[in-house]
Amino acid sequence: MTSLSDEELIAQYRLAPASDRSRNLLDELFRRHQTRVAAWCYRLTGDRTQAADLAQEVFAKAYASLDRFRADSKFTTWLYVIARNRWRDELRAREARPREAPEDAAGDAEPWSENAALTALDARDARVVVRELMSAALDETEQRVMALHYAHGLRLDAITAALGLTNQSGAKAYIVSARRKLKTAVERWSTKS
C-alpha cells in the first residue's frame, strides 16, 4: 500500500468505497499528509489548538469532496486548494470581526501612504501605480513577502518559515526594506506626476 501513489490509493478506494480495505487506503492517504497540513495550519494560525481545528476541517472537507478529485493535478495540490480556500474563509470571518491591531511590520520606515498624489487616485489607479512602483523598486523576495503579508494575511514568522528565509530577522527585514524603498519610489513618482 505504501508503494502506491496518492492518486492510485484514491483509484483503488473508488473500486469498493464501502470496504474495510478502502478505509485503510484512505487512512494511509490522510496519514501521509498529516504533517504537511498540520505545519501549514500552524503557520497560518500561530496557535496549536486553532491549527488542529483547521487541519481537522481540511481533512473532513477533503473526505467529503473526494468524489470531485479528478487527478488532473496532484492530490497534494488538490489538498492545498482545499486548505487554501478554508483559510480564505477564515480570513473573511476575521475581517468581519472587530479589527485586531495589525502586526507591527513598519519598523523604522516613515508612512508613505499619506502622499497627496497617491490618495488623490481612485482605488483602481492606485492599485496599478503601487504595483508598478513595487515592480520597479523591490526585488523578487521583497515583493513576495509584501504580497504574503498584505494580501494573503500571513504573519511574519509564517512567511519566514514558508519561504525558508535564513536571514536573522526573517520576513521583517524584507518588509522594512521594501517599505523604505517604496516610500522613496512614491515620492519620486509624485514629484514627476
Partner 1 sequence: MEHEILNAALRPGPDCIDVERLGRFVDGAVAPDERRAIAAHVEGCPTCQAEISLLQAFTEGRVDATESAAVRDIVAELQRRPSPIPSAAPEKPRAWRGIPLGMLRAVMTTAAVLVVASSVYLFRSTAPQLPIDIDAGRDVTRSLAIALISPVGDQRSAPSRLEWQPVTGASRYHVRVMEVDRTELWSVDTDASAVDLPEAMRARIVPAKTLLWDVTAFTSSSAVIATSDAQRFRVVP
Q: Which of residues 26-45 bind partner 1 (CB under 8 A)?
A: 26-27, 30, 34-36, 38-43
**Pick from 6, 86, 156, 172: which binds partner 1 (CB under 8 A)?**
6
Q: Which of residues 57-86 bind partner 1 (CB under 8 A)?
A: 59-60, 62-64, 67, 70-81, 83-85
Query: Using the rule CB under 8 A, is 97 a contact of partner 1?
Result: no
| Rounded-to-integer distance, Cα 146 and Cα 127, Å | 14
Query: Using the rule CB under 8 A, is 164 a contact of partner 1?
Result: yes
Query: Using the rule CB under 8 A, is 23 a contact of partner 1?
Result: yes
Query: Using the rule CB under 8 A, is 14 a contact of partner 1?
Result: yes
Task: Label residue 173 exposed, middle or buried (CB < 10 Å: 0-12, 13-18, 19+).
Answer: middle
Nearer of residues 132 and 188 to partner 1, judged by Cβ: 132
The type of residue at 97 is R
What number of residues does the chain have? 193
User: Least separation, in Å, of the C-beta of 169 and partner 1?
Assistant: 14
**Pick from 100, 104, 108, 140: which binds partner 1 (CB under 8 A)?**
140
The answer to whether 147 touches 138, Cβ cutoff 8 Å, is no
Local structure of 104: helix, strand or coil: coil
H-assigned helices in the chain = 6-15, 20-45, 48-65, 75-96, 116-119, 123-137, 140-146, 156-163, 171-192
Nearer of residues 59 and 189 to partner 1, judged by Cβ: 59
Binding residues for partner 1, total number by CB under 8 A: 82
User: Which three cell numbers, joined as nine digits, stand for 42?
Assistant: 500552524
